[in-house]
């Protein structure tokens, strides 16, 4: 992943602006986010968990944080880049690129109850924009899972292997270094319609209009669904209507979503 290497120079900038980064984290971007229980396992079924429906809280603290961290940004002219267009899946050759986590900024995203998720900064901002747009249409969603450290992913794998056997873990859980959640670019969301939290495929598909609008607006802000029905053999996962991956390129995201293809197919690595 040669392009990620370019970001190494940004490490210097990040050092220079460390104080600002710390400030931005302290002033964590407040996103609409459901109360959530333990972060769930990354598995083929990847059940979402959470507490009861929370009133969606929107605090527009993101703008100040965004301004504060601007010098650290890796795209000088504000244009989109293809740096985020890399593939992470279970295949040995598609681990998280070396240096990726050093090239990005992770920010904390909190709801009013103080529950915290960690998300890559641009991903967090794009999701906030998508939420704002959806809320204007009376459609709500909230974060249910986001960044997961490699250590966490490995412990999930080991727990599943201990409980259900090595073969089960190998088939159902991404090994360390191979979960999109480790990139900071993947988020799981809950769709909320008329105050009801929709977490399962069945629940979400019962509201096709809102679901379609969620997908449309998320794509408009640079997100794609990663695990599609009928593409299980390509992605290695059962369908997940809640797992979005940020690409930092709305045109590409809309193209991928419009064609109903996977990132694997788009990148030609199937
Ligand atoms: Zn997920």
Q: Over the stretch 147-157, which tens digit does the pLDDT of each residue have?
A: 999 999 999 99
Q: Are 65 and 24 in contact (CB under 8 A)?
A: yes
Residue 240 annotated as catalytic: yes
Q: Which residues surround ligand 1, an ion (CB under 5 A)?
A: 188, 243
pLDDT at 30 over 80: no
**pLDDT band at residue 189 under the 50/70/90 scheme:** very high
Q: Choosing from 240, 254, 264, 265, which is the catalytic residue?
A: 240
Q: How far is the CA of 188 from the centre of ligand 1 (A)?
A: 5
Average pLDDT, the chain: 78
pLDDT at 58 over 90: no
- Mean predicted confidence (pLDDT) in 18-37: 43
Q: What is the pLDDT of residue 217?
A: 98
* 16 Cα–ligand 1 center, Å: 34
Higher pLDDT among residues 95 and 14, named by residue: 95
- CA 185 to CA 256: how far, in whole Å? 16
Provide the pLDDT for residue 114.
64
Query: Is the pLDDT reported for residue 20 higher than 90?
Result: no
| Ligand 1 center from residue 254 Cα (angstroms) | 20
Name the CATH topology of 2-266. Answer: Muramoyl-pentapeptide Carboxypeptidase; domain 2 (3.30.1380)
Residue 113's pLDDT band (cuts 50, 70, 90): low
Distance (angstroms) between ligand 1 centre and the Cα of 162 equals 22
Of 16-25, 40-49, 63-72, the range with the lowest mean pLDDT is 63-72
CA 174 to ligand 1 center in whole angstroms: 11
Residues 200 and 242: beta-carbon distance below 8 Å:
no
Measured in Å, residue 42 CA sits from the centre of ligand 1 at: 7
pLDDT higher than threshold 70 for residue 244? yes
């Amino acid at each position: 992943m040669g392009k990620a290497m370019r970001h190494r120079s940004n490490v210097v900038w990040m050092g220079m602006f460390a104080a600002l980064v710390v400030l931005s984290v302290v002033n964590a971007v407040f996103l609409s986010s459901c109360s959530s229980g333990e972060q769930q396992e990354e598995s083929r079924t990847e059940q979402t968990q959470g507490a009861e429906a929370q009133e969606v809280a929107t605090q527009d603290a993101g703008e100040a944080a965004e301004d504060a961290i601007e010098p650290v940004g890796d795209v000088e002219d504000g244009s989109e880049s293809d740096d985020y267009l890399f593939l992470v899946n279970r295949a040995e050759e598609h681990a998280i690129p070396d240096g990726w986590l050093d090239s990005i900024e992770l920010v904390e995203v909190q709801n009013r109850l103080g529950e915290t998720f960690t998300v890559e900064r641009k991903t967090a901002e794009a999701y906030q924009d998508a939420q704002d747009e959806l809320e204007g249409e009376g459609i709500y969603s909230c974060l249910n899972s986001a960044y997961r450290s490699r250590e966490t992913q490995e412990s999930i794998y080991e727990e599943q292997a201990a409980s259900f056997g090595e073969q089960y873990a190998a088939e159902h859980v991404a090994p360390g270094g191979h979960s999109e959640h480790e990139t900071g670019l993947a988020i799981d969301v809950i769709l909320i319609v008329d105050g009801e939290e929709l977490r399962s495929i069945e629940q979400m598909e019962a509201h096709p209009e809102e679901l379609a609008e969620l997908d449309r607006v998320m794509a408009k802000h640079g997100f794609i669904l990663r695990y599609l029905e009928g593409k299980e053999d390509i992605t290695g996962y059962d369908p997940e209507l809640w797992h979005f991956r940020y690409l930092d390129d709305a045109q590409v995201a809309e193209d991928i979503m419009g064609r109903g293809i996977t990132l694997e197919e788009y990148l030609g690595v199937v």
